[in-house]
Each structure stands twice: as C-alpha cells, then as structure tokens.
Amino acid sequence: MTIDNKTVENLAHLARLRFNESEKEQIREGLEKMVAFVEKLREVDTTGIEPLLHISDAANVLREDVVRGSISREEALLNSPVKDEVFFKVPKVIKK
C-alpha cells in the first residue's frame, strides 16, 4: 500500500494537526514503513497458533483492603492557603 500526501493531509485533518511539507514527507515515510511491516506480518503462517490475549495467566490480582487511620478535616484544612471552616477554596475554572 502506498501512502500519498492526500492521505497524510487527511490524517492530519482528523487529528487536528498541522505539518509543513518536510514534516509531511517524514510522516508519509514512517507510515509506509509501518504498513510494510504489517504486510510482512501477514506473510507469517499462524495456523494452529492461539491468539495471545494477556501476557500472564493471572486474573484479578487484587490487594486486601486494610483499614488505616486518616487525618481529620481540621488537620487537612491546615495545609490549605485559602479555606473556610469546612472546605478548601480554589479559583473558579469553569466559565459560562
């Protein structure tokens, strides 16, 4: 499969990226190498080989929950530069 400039421009548009001409050429060459690699992999006979879904056979390895102490609200609020009696105060970040 050949990757042309139109394909690179389409991918750049979909990714909302802009490239100059030299960057487009580097990307085109890289994409062609990737496609060639995948095409080379298709030549390998995988008859009788089961797909590898996970690297290890371990499933749902979870740690035990351990109840530990915590700090009080008052102690937590001591670390805040701006606060009231109950809450941390932070700058507004959502605009209308």
Q: What is the pLDDT of residues 72-94, one digit of tens each?
A: 888 888 888 888 888 988 888 88
Which pLDDT score is estimated for 60?
Answer: 80
Phi, psi angles (nearest 5°) of residue 22: -70, -35
Q: Name the average pLDDT for the chain.
A: 89
In Å, what is the CA distance from 65 to each residue of 22, 61, 62, 68, 71? 54, 13, 9, 9, 18
Which pLDDT score is estimated for 59?
Answer: 77
Task: Say whether 35 sits in a helix, a strand or coil.
Answer: helix
Q: Where are the domains of the chain?
A: 5-42
Q: Summarize pLDDT for 48-70 with one digit per residue, the tens.
A: 988 888 788 777 878 888 888 88
For the domain covering 5-42, report its CATH number.
Answer: 1.10.20
Model confidence band, residue 16 (pLDDT cutoffs 50, 70, 90)? very high
DSSP per-residue codes, 47-65: TTPPP---SSS-----PPP
Q: List CB contacts of 60: < 8 A, sequence separation 6 or more.
A: none
